Each structure stands twice: as C-alpha cells, then as structure tokens.
Amino acid sequence: MFLLIYEGFGPLSEPIGYSYEVFRAIELTLISSAVSSAISVAVFTPLAYYLARNKNSLGETLSAIPASIPHPIIGVAILVIVSPLTPFGRFLLSVGINFFNTYLGLITALTIVSAPIYINSMQLFFQSMNVAHENYALGLGASKFRTFISVALPNAGRGILSASLISMSRAMSEFGSISIVAYYVLQQPFYGVNPAPVLIFQYYTYYGLGAAVTASAVMILVSIAMMIILRLVKQDNSKWMKGD
Amino acid sequence: MDERRLIVIKVELKKRLGGFFLDAELSDENYICLTGKNGSGKTTLLNLIGGILSPDDGYVMLNSKQITSLPIEQRHVSIVTPDSCIPHLDVDQHLVWGAKNKRLNIESEYVTEIKTGLGINFSGKVNKLSLGMREKLSVATSLISKPELMLIDEAFSNIDNHEDFIATFRNLAAKAEIDVIFTTQYPDDSTQADHHYRLESGKSTRLF
C-alpha cells in the first residue's frame, strides 16, 4: 500500500491520476458507500440482534452467502432478477425502475456485498452486551420488540457506528458486482461518473499502469482516513465496553 | 404469616449444564429465602423460574397456573440481579418503566411511597449511579410494575444497611401482594423470610 502511495505520487505519477474525474469518482464512491451503509443500519440491525439472541444456523448462513460467492455473480444475479426475463423485472421496468447504470443498481450491489460484514459485526456487538438489562426489561413485561427498541438499541450506538464504518469501507473497495451493474452512473448529479474502483481499472486499461497507480494512491489516502476514523471509534468502543 | 392472598409457587425442575445437574423442588408462598454456596445452583434455579433458561424436565406453577413454557415477558415474574437496570434512563423514568409497559395506572403517591420507603433520594442517569443505588432502583421499579413474583438474585448485596432495606422491601412486597424468592450470601437474611431453602450441589432442601 505504501509502495503504491510512493509510486503514485512519485516515479509513476501521471497528471490524469489527480484529475477532476478521479475526485468525482471518489466522491461518488464515498456517497454511495455511505448510503449503502445507512441502509444496512436501518434494515439489518434488527436481523443482527435476532441472530445474536437466537441460535439460527439457517439465518446466519443465508446472511453470509453474499460474502462467500464471487462478487461478479452478484452483479449478474441483480441484472437477471431485474431484467425483462423475469416477471419481477418486467414489473419494475413497467413502473420505470431501472437498476442498470443507476444509483439504485449501484447502491443495491454495494448493500448486498457489504451487509454480511455489517450483520456479523453487529451480531458480535450484541452478543457482547450485558443481557441482564434485557432480561430485566422482559421481566418488567416489555415485549421482545420493545426490549430491542428501548433497551438494546439505545446502548448500541457506538457498535452501530463502528459496524457501519466497517461496512462502508467494504463497500468502498467493491469492484466485481458494480463493474457489471453500474460501470458508470447515468443520472445527475454524477452523470457519466464511474465509481472509483471501476475508474482505476478503466485507467489501467486505457492509459497504463502510471495513471492507475496515481489514482489508486489518491483512493488509498481516502481509505486510510476511513481506517483512522474506524480505529478511533473502535478504541472509544472498547473503553466504553470496559466502563471507563 | 401475612394476612394476604397466597400466591403459591410450585416448582419441580431438572436441568443439566455441563457437569452440573440441578434437581430442585420448591413449594411455598410469600417471602422465600434461598441460600447455598457459590455454584450450588441458586442462579440457575431462579433463571429457570424466570424463563431465562428452559428446564430439561419439570414445571413451574404460579398461583395454580403453568408458566413453564411461557416466555419471560408473559410470566408476570420479574428478575432482579445486581446488573438489572435500563442504563440510559433517568431515575424517575426508570421507576415507572415497567408499569408503563403493563399499562398500569400507578398513582404518584404510590411511587413516592416506594421511593421514600426504599431510600431512593437520588436522581440523574441510571448509568451514573453507584451499584447500591442501581440495586435499590431496580428493586423499586420491579415493585411498582406489580409482578406476581419477584426473583431477587443477590441484588441486596451492595446496599448499605441491607437488613433494614430488606425489612422495608418485605413489607412493601407484602402490601402489593407480590411473592418473593431471594438469594443471599448472608445467612442472617433468612431470619426475615417466611420460608428458607438451601441448595447444595443442585439439590434443594426445605429448612422451614
């Protein structure tokens, strides 16, 4: 990684690697990854809690599948499901919902590939929480749903932040599925912009190694900034779990 | 004996946990003390009665009603341990949290009576309170929520003057017609109980 930064900003540096196009691609990647991470928080936090409190091998296996198959397959699967080949796809197209080269397709692919990491992180976080609080709430007549909403969730803020940053980092690095579903986005305000991993691949094939390495170096700096934030949040988390 | 409604607790339970085997029976009412060394099965027995654990065999009956297979939230049994609290609430929100869940119409005078009786003269966020304060608050919250049975697992241990606290709590529980099973490390606490059981290596013995 440090070699890429050295080469990207040094011997192999190419001006196109710092171009406006690269920064737009990074912007698109950051925003779409953040949105996919927010979707994971909203949709998969209850699932992670359920898996943490109930032994469910089927649920755990199903939620881990996207992480264990080659990601181009996920891209292909999304395209097939929403294509005119299926009744569901025909219905979506008839109401104007299109996944190919749209934000919807990009964010769907990023959510599918990063959600297993979010679910796993949150499951571990919920398992590390003191269940005595929840058992006490249940004994006070609270339903399982109310216990989740009113007892577990208010104490899970730091875990959610940490898991969502991990999931966002994973989404930022995704290439396989989005290179099929959303090679670029054909919607404003990012019309014609490629996600950063796709743009780096494109630079490599069009302009050669130098341009790809320079753009990669810029992207790596952004990823390092993300990792530093994540590390700080995790340190804060461990202090909190120890009750400091 | 208190002149009050008797809610009979009848329990026959078997549970294997690793190399430990619990085979306990209990059939009584009112204020029941459970003593035994560490590892004798006190917490396991309370967790089985409260629904946190499922028995391998046996039953739990409360006031002639089978509750063995009911989930925790439907048993009308409140479990209080030293860790029992809802950390992000304020003291006053905490006190009525259970009663609100059960949609009970609780008079503010009753809440004041419990607060005064149990020495809840503090306020603020629950997660900022000392362990003893949290234990008092958890017991008070549970009382105000009016369960049929309270299971208290060494939740008096960090309370100053806990003998006085137990005596007051006992009167308040009796007045609210709540039966209590409590575990303690202090043998003297059993003198305040109506009945005393001892657990040894998972086997229960009724002492009185």
Q: Does the pLDDT value for residue A222 go beyond 80?
A: yes
- Residues in chain B within 8 Å Cβ distance of A136: 78-81, 83-86, 138
Contact criterion met (CB < 8 Å) for A140 and B87 = no
Distance from CA of B28 to the nearest CA of A (A): 21
Nearest CB neighbour to B83, from listed A132, A143, A144 = A132
Q: Retrieve residue A207's tokens.
A: 């302009």
Question: Would you say the ipTM is above 0.90?
Answer: yes
Q: A71: pLDDT confidence band, cut at 50, 70 and 90?
A: confident
pLDDT of residue B2: 46
Task: Give mean pLDDT, residues A23-41.
Answer: 94
What is the tens place of the pLDDT at every residue in B105-129? Answer: 888 899 999 999 998 999 999 989 9
**What is the number of structural domains in chain A?**
1
Check CB contact of A41 with chain B, cutoff 8 Å: no
Secondary structure (DSSP) of A65-100: HHHHS-HHHHHHHHHHHTSTTSHHHHHHHHTT---T
Distance of CA A107 to the CA centre of its chain: 9
What is the tens place of the pLDDT at every residue in A146-164? Answer: 999 999 999 898 899 989 9
pLDDT of residue B5: 54
pLDDT of residue B94: 95
Check CB contact of A149 with chain B, cutoff 8 Å: no
- What's the distance, Cα to Cα, between the start and end of chain B in Å? 13
Chain mean pLDDT for chain A: 87
Task: Give mean pLDDT, residues A173-191.
Answer: 88
Nearest CB neighbour to B73, from listed A130, A133, A141 = A141
Q: Does the pLDDT value for residue A28 go beyond 60?
A: yes
Q: A59: pLDDT confidence band, cut at 50, 70 and 90?
A: confident
**Distance of alpha carbon A153 from alpha carbon B120, whole angstroms:** 27
Q: Are B117 and B59 in contact (CB under 8 A)?
A: no
Check CB contact of A144 with chain B, cutoff 8 Å: yes
- Residues in chain A within 8 Å Cβ distance of B52: 135
Distance from CA of B96 to the nearest CA of A (A): 10
Q: Retrieve residue A77's tokens.
A: 């699967």
Q: Does the pLDDT value for residue A238 go beyond 70?
A: no
Domains in chain B with CATH codes? 9-83+146-206 (3.40.50.300)
Nearest CB neighbour to A146, from listed B75, B101, B138 = B101
Check CB contact of A143 with chain B, cutoff 8 Å: yes
List phi, psi (to 5°) of B31.
-110, 105
Which residue from A minimizes the CA distance to B94?
Answer: A137
Q: Are A191 and A109 in contact (CB under 8 A)?
A: no
Task: Give mean pLDDT, residues B157-167.
Answer: 82
Distance from CA of A156 to the nearest CA of B (A): 11
Contact criterion met (CB < 8 Å) for B79 and A150 = no
What is the tens place of the pLDDT at every residue in B64-115? Answer: 889 999 999 999 999 999 999 999 999 999 999 999 988 988 888 999 999 9
Note down the domain range covering A73. Answer: 2-241
Q: What is the CATH number of the domain that holds A44?
A: 1.10.3720.10
Q: Are B98 and B145 in contact (CB under 8 A)?
A: yes
Question: What own/partner pairs with CB < 8 Å and gap ≥ 24 does B202-207 have?
Answer: B202/B20, B202/B21, B202/B22, B202/B23, B202/B24, B202/B40, B202/B41, B202/B44, B203/B23, B203/B24, B204/B23, B204/B24, B204/B25, B204/B26, B204/B45, B206/B26, B206/B28
Q: Strands, E, within chain A: which ranges? A: none
Contact criterion met (CB < 8 Å) for A140 and B145 = yes
**Could you tell me how many CB contacts below 8 A there are between chain A and chain B?**
68
